[in-house]
Amino acid sequence: MSAVKLVRMANQIAIFFRTQPDEAGATAVADHIKSFWNPVMRREIYAHLRAGGEGLEPLARAGLEALMARDPVAHESVTK
Amino acid sequence: MSLSREKDFGTPLRTGSTMVTLSIDGVQTRVPAGTSVMAAAAKMGTQIPKLCATDTLEAFGSCRLCLVEIEGRRGTPASCTTPVEDGMVVRTQTKRVADLRRGVMELYISDHPLDCLTCSANGDCELQDMAGVVGLRDVRYGQDGEQHRTIAADDSNPYFTFDSSKCIVCSRCVRACEDVQGTFALTIDGRGLGSLVATGGPDFLGSECVSCGACVQACPTATLNEKSIIEMGAPTRSIDTTCAYCGVGCGFRAEMQGDKVVRMVPSKAGKANEGHSCVKGRFAWGYATHKDRITKPMVRAKITDPWREVTWDEAFAHAASEFRRIQGAYGVDSIGAITSSRCTNEETFLVQKLVRAGFGNNNVDTCARVCHSPTGYGLKTTFGTSAGTQDFKSVALSDVILVIGANPTDAHPVFASRMKKRLRKSAKLIVIDPRRIDLFRTAHIEADHHLALKPGTNVAIINALAHVIITEGLVNEAFVRERCDLGDFESWARFIARDENAPEAVEKVSGVATSEIRAAARLFATGGNGAIYYGLGVTEHSQGSTMVMGMANLAMATGNLGRAGVGVNPLRGQNNVQGACDMGSFPHEFSGYRHVSDDATRDMFEGLWGVSLSPEPGLRIPNMLDEAVEGRFKGLYIQGEDIAQSDPDTQHVTRGLRNMECVIVQDLFLNETAKYAHVFFPGSSFLEKDGTFTNAERRISRVRKAMAPQAGLADWETTLGFAKALGCVFSYAHPSQIMDEIAALTPTFAGVSYAKLDELGSIQWPCNDSAPQGTPIMHVERFVRGKGKFMITDFVPTDERTTQRFPLILTTGRILSQYNVGVQTQRTANTIWHDEDVLEIHAFDAENRGIRDGDLVAIQSRSGEVALHARISERMQPGVVYTTFHHAKSGANVITTDYSDWATNCPEYKVTAVQVQRTNRWSDWQEEDRASGDLLRIIERKADAAE
């Protein structure tokens, strides 16, 4: 999937969770993406993140960094 | 199965705890207070003669045939209009009443043609029956009464005729149109023998009639008669089943001659519809035997090749070989499937099982992705379960009805009739919709408030309503304190009280006057039972899930949950979209909405299925298509969906389909998606199989086979065949065994079986040990998740903005006579009401562009361009245009974009920035689609196959 589209989707998720009171926003973003995004999409966005993460909102970036740290697929190649 | 007819009690049955004891013909009987003498007699098996009475209508008392004698009463009262009383002694058959009845019948017959043997209602005529029951032997007045034979029968309606000469002016049709349907299209014109039923238009077709069939159903003679009955004769057997159109899920009796449907009759026992119907379910079933049906499996190597008919075994082997080849070449995750919301629960369950257990991934999704997936997310988050809260009959106890982003009279007409009935009595109505929908002002109904918001500002409006409730102290504190999480509530209340959510601020973004927002909020909070009904105008936005949570917040804050008359109720689009979601069609969930990463759930499925299952969510439909465009997703099995027409950004969809190496389409017809397919499995209609559908009120109803599958296999058998070719061992001899497996694996379905469905008629899930008869109303004492969860619903404007280049907002919707992408309804006479999609535009926008009504106009967005004829409409607000998406040639989704809901990827169909201008040609896409369409559908038939 195109990085532009994934970035937009991640930012949308972050924009929702940044206003929620009872959860650490980054964790909520990470949990949502882990629950609904297929590993293919996660691998793509991690690759984008590693390449600088252009366009990502701060909370989206924080959520993805938190997720990448605990997600086994983060270490798999994009083409898998 | 023999022909069955439902018993007619003459007047509606009453319920209630106060019982009345009376004597009828010497027999003591007890019935609820308010029951008529006629119904009380019918309940004990005594049918009092009648003509103007039927139990779907309140008593009218005009025919004077149901006279009885009651001790202590003067005269001979009509049993239909006389309520029972304690100690009442009734005689239904005395010489006095028998003589009177014969006299009445003589008068009727003197005015009625005696052509019974050649009459289309012969054997199904209450006048004929009553003549026999009263012992009519002579007509002293002769047969020269006014018979209106000079008036030609009105056969303008494609499905039924109206013949005045057969009419006995009982007013049942008029009352059915008023009381049951709520359209008020009919009246009685003239007086005495000159009385005639009139439509208020030149004929039925030219009148306000919506062809629901209620008048035909109510008519006791051949005056209003189905053309199919006139053509074919009377049915000889019948089968109870469930309609395959919208999410209302009406119960029907398929009346048959051999394997031919003669008519579909709405079932009074159907709890979703209670004997009512709409033009689609009642009449538009001819598609099932249309000549366009594909009845042989077909394959081709390339989409530009002609289709080649093959045997089922060849088709299964080819499809399986291709899918395994693709997985070998591109990986396990390179294939997936789409389940059908038009197919049964059992068929849907099988497809997702095939994907998870057979394909070895979770790449399965369903059309709810593009309609109500935000409902699932939003209601699960706030209440704990992904479904509406009420049964349909709940609306009869609503005091304030809030309709948001739904058009029930067109899209859910049978439920709309229930709603209209309540609104005519006393309930208040608030409509939140950019368009002036029919419900806004219809017979004896006018919305108290119409919040005509700009598309894309739903969340701002729902927040503003809540703001008024919070800041004016209208919260139901007792409910919130007892039923909801107080910490969440307090956070939400602080958020919602902010100035940015005040009506004054929201007026600027939504265009809705502050006074209207405040008045609507006060009415909803203080008007009694408040019920929310909503449709795709809520979900198909970039904030669809947020809006669902916003409505849940509003219902919790006002205490409108957990009892009859209230609730948050999605009006589901397709017949089994609720069921498709329930059955585990989403890529992240097993049946019963349990995440694939949940080890305990996965263990249970792995144990029963004997395979290892992936704990990772699969690709959603938009993700599959994106991956296909990228060249990594190569095979798709599509059961009963037409994504090339129904999904947004058509050119992106077709690019994805073209990039795949094996697309399998299973459908009744060669639909738009089939143009890009390599394998075609011919589908079976709802008349050709057994199974269940689940409607918008979580009601599971049986679908029963009325005829053999035209292609030899029902859809569930086709999936089994494909699974077997893939090496999967799925063993089911009947769909009831699939339901048994669903029940074994799904806690909310644990108590469901075909035996119980036969016993109860239908069941609303959850049905298990805690609720063995099912659950009509959810969250009665506690929410499924425990405490109700208020969510912060910050309004975030969509990225899809109007610009100088695209200054208007396009929004899309449906029309009464058509269903979804039109593959079914356009193969029926329903096309008489809607032969093309048009663009509705406000006069101001039209004038600015020099557009006149009927002009061909080009509609351009950043995704594409199509041309439609314009209709200048006062329903629209300036700046907003509207079209339907029922015709493939229109290409409405060529214009819609890939923007989607933040939580679920549900496309933002309802907001597309466009420009509209006059044109003299179809768009390039339309020209190209027409040129290529036929080429991609060529079938190379064998000589014997063509016969």
- Tens digits of residue pLDDT in B400-453: 999 999 999 999 999 999 999 999 999 999 999 999 999 999 999 999 999 999
3-class DSSP assignment, residue B569: strand
Q: What is the pLDDT of residues B75-90, one digit of tens each?
A: 999 999 999 999 999 9
State how far the alpha carbon of B342 is from the alpha carbons of B91, B139, B754, in Å. Answer: 52, 54, 20
- Alpha-carbon gap: A10 to the closest alpha carbon of chain B (Å): 8
In chain B, what residues touch A5 (CB-CB under 8 Å)?
626, 898
Which of the 8 DSSP states describes residue B417? H
Which 8-state DSSP code applies to residue B728?
-
Asked whether the CA dihedral B545, B750, B693, B352 is positive or negative, the reply is positive
Number of H-type helices and E-type strands within chain B: 30, 37
Give the one of B491, B619, B904 whose C-beta lies nearest to A38's C-beta: B619
pLDDT surpasses 50 at B842: yes
Q: What backbone torsions phi and psi does residue B530 show, to the nearest 5 degrees?
A: -105, 125
Residues B319, B723: Cα–Cα separation, whole Å: 10
pLDDT band at B945 (very low <50, low <70, confident <90, very high): very low
Q: Does A80 fall in a domain?
A: no
CA distance B838 to chain A (A): 32
β-pair partners for B883: B812
Residues B886-905 have pLDDT tens digits of 999 999 999 999 999 999 99
Q: List, in sequence order, the alpha helices (H) in B405-476.
A: 408-411, 413-425, 458-471
Convert B501-527 into a string of H (helix), E (strand) and C (coil).
Answer: HCHHHHHHHHCCCHHHHHHHHHHHHHC
Pairing mode, if any, of strands B89-91 and B19-24? parallel
pLDDT on residue B947: 36
B-chain residues within 8 Å CB-CB of A20? Answer: 791-792
Range B663-669 average pLDDT: 97
B898 interaction partners in chain A (CB closer than 8 Å): 5
- Per-residue pLDDT reduced to its tens digit, B314-331: 999 999 999 999 999 999
**What pLDDT was estimated at residue B467?**
98
Contacts of A80 in chain B (CB under 8 A): 331
Asked whether B48 and B38 are in contact (CB, 8 A), the reply is yes
The position carrying tokens 């395979």 is B611
Mean pLDDT of A18-30: 87
pLDDT above 80 (res B942): no
Q: What integer is the mean pLDDT of B213-217?
A: 97
Walk me through the domains of chain B, giving residue ranges and CATH numbers.
19-134 (3.10.20.740), 160-289 (3.30.70.20), 303-370+576-754 (3.40.50.740), 373-570 (3.40.228.10), 808-935 (2.40.40.20)
CB pairs under 8 A between A and B: 71
Q: What is the pLDDT of residue B707?
A: 97
Instruction: Tell me the pLDDT band of B141, cut-offs 50, 70 and 90.
Output: confident
List CB contacts (< 8 A) between B903 and chain A.
Answer: 13, 16, 32, 36
Which ranges of B711-866 does DSSP label H, i.e. alpha helix? 715-725, 735-745, 754-760, 843-848
- Rounded Cα–Cα distance for residues B467 and B857 (Å): 42
Chain A residues 20-49 with a CB less than 8 Å from chain B:
20-22, 32, 34-41
Going by their DSSP bridges, the two strands B400-404 and B428-432 should be labelled as parallel
Residue B931 has pLDDT above 90, yes or no: no
Structural tokens at position B296: 């042989």
Total domains in the fold of chain A: 1
Per-residue pLDDT band for B1 (boundaries 50, 70, 90) equals: low
Domain that holds residue A25: 3-75
Q: Of B333, B617, B630, which has the smallest distance from its Cβ to A35's Cβ?
A: B617
- Token readout for B837 is 């999609």
Distance from CA of A66 to the nearest CA of B (A): 18
Please check whether residue B851 is in contact with residue B870, taking contact to mean a CB–CB distance below 8 angstroms: yes
The reply to whether residue B546 touches residue A16, judged by beta carbons under 8 angstroms, is yes
Q: A18 CA to chain B: closest CA distance, Å?
A: 10
Nearest to A22 among B488, B595, B900 (CB): B488
What gap in Å lies between CA B864 and CA B651, rounded to an integer? 8
CA distance B274 to B847: 47
Tokens of B713: 């296999």
B164/B856 Cα distance (integer angstroms): 42
Kindly write down the DSSP assignment for every residue of B228-276, as one continuous string. HHHHH---SEEEEEE-SSBTT--EEEEEEETTEEEEEEE-TT-TTTTT-
